[in-house]
Amino acid sequence: MIVPSSWLEADALWCALWALADDYAVEWGVERPERDVTASPLDGFNPEANIEAVWFVTEMLVKYVQASVPDVFSRVQGAIRAVQYVSAMQTALARYPSDDAPQKAHFVRCRACKQMTLRRRPPLEYQDPIVVECTNEECGELWDPRLVDFDLKILRTSIVEAAAERARAVKERVRAESRARIKAAKAVVRAAEKAADALAEEASTNEERRNA
Ligand SMILES: [Zn+2]
């Protein structure tokens, strides 16, 4: 089984938080944090654990630490662990943003109000759907992202077709211009030939006249 790097990161973070909580308990001689089969202080979460179990033990540990935050910092070992944990947490948050910002859906119009006001809204809670919402206050319609992707695909196809059509038109114009240029060049040649013939004719008439 290939373990996603985000899982390994979560394991490391949980272990760091556990170390902080446990060292605090030892340093202050208070009751140690509660444990559960879902996570071990050495390897982090049990790979078989589902998201609800992971959520439960994490919340339990976070509550334990939150309840004693001033004390955790006020002794050396706890302070060292806290700095390590916060630094690891900041790295993880930068690497795995936990909530996406809503993003404007570019190029597509709302099917209801025909405005370019669509925005992709990320899930607000676990297992929430991703929806596309219209930010036009008078509309506010919600759309299935697949519908918006479908509209985008149609738009993309029409753009590609229009580009191909334009390329065809340009090619046709170039061909017509080149035909016109050849025609004009031929006309010039014909006119020059005619002039040459006329001159030759005149010359021979003059010659005949002189001989007569
Ligand atoms: Zn709308």
pLDDT tens readout for residues 43-71: 899 988 898 999 999 999 999 999 988 88
Tokens of 164: 């191909």
Residues 167 and 165: their CA atoms lie apart, in Å, by: 5
**What is the distance in A from the centroid of ligand 1 to the CA of 145?**
14
**What is the distance in A from the centroid of ligand 1 to the CA of 104?**
13
Q: Does residue 15 lie within any of the structural domains?
A: yes
Instruction: Give me the number of domains the chain comprises.
Output: 3
**What is the distance in A from the centroid of ligand 1 to the CA of 51?**
36
Question: What is the structure's pLDDT at 138?
Answer: 96
Q: Does residue 148 lie within any of the structural domains?
A: no
Beta-bridge partners for 125: none
Q: Does residue 82 lie within any of the structural domains?
A: yes
**What is the distance in A from the centroid of ligand 1 to the CA of 150?**
17
pLDDT band at 101 (very low <50, low <70, confident <90, very high): confident
Is residue 1 predicted with pLDDT exceeding 70?
no
**pTM, to two decimals:** 0.50
Mean pLDDT value of segment 89-110: 84
- 102-109: list long-range contacts, CB under 8 Å, 24+ apart: 105/132, 105/148, 107/152, 107/155, 108/148, 108/151, 108/152, 108/155, 109/151
Q: Does residue 19 lie within any of the structural domains?
A: yes
| Contacts with 85 (C-beta within 8 Å, 6 or more apart), sequence order | 13, 16, 17, 19, 20
Q: Are residues 121 and 75 in the same domain?
A: no
Burial letters 132-171, b for 16+ CB under 10 A, else e: bbbbbeebeeebeeeebeebeeeeeeeeeeeeeeeeeeee
**Among 83, 117, 143, which residue terminates a domain?**
143
**What is the distance in A from the centroid of ligand 1 to the CA of 110?**
5
Q: Which domain, by its residues, includes 122? A: 99-143
**What is the distance in A from the centroid of ligand 1 to the CA of 102?**
16
Q: Are residues 63 and 122 in the same domain?
A: no
User: Which of the residue ranges 81-90, 93-102, 114-123, 140-149 would you say has the lowest mean pLDDT?
Assistant: 93-102
**What is the distance in A from the centroid of ligand 1 to the CA of 101?**
20
What are the tens digits of pLDDT across the range 71-87? 888 888 889 999 999 99
**What is the distance in A from the centroid of ligand 1 to the CA of 144?**
13
Is 181 strand, coil or helix? helix
Average model confidence (pLDDT) across the chain: 90
Is residue 127 predicted with pLDDT exceeding 80?
no
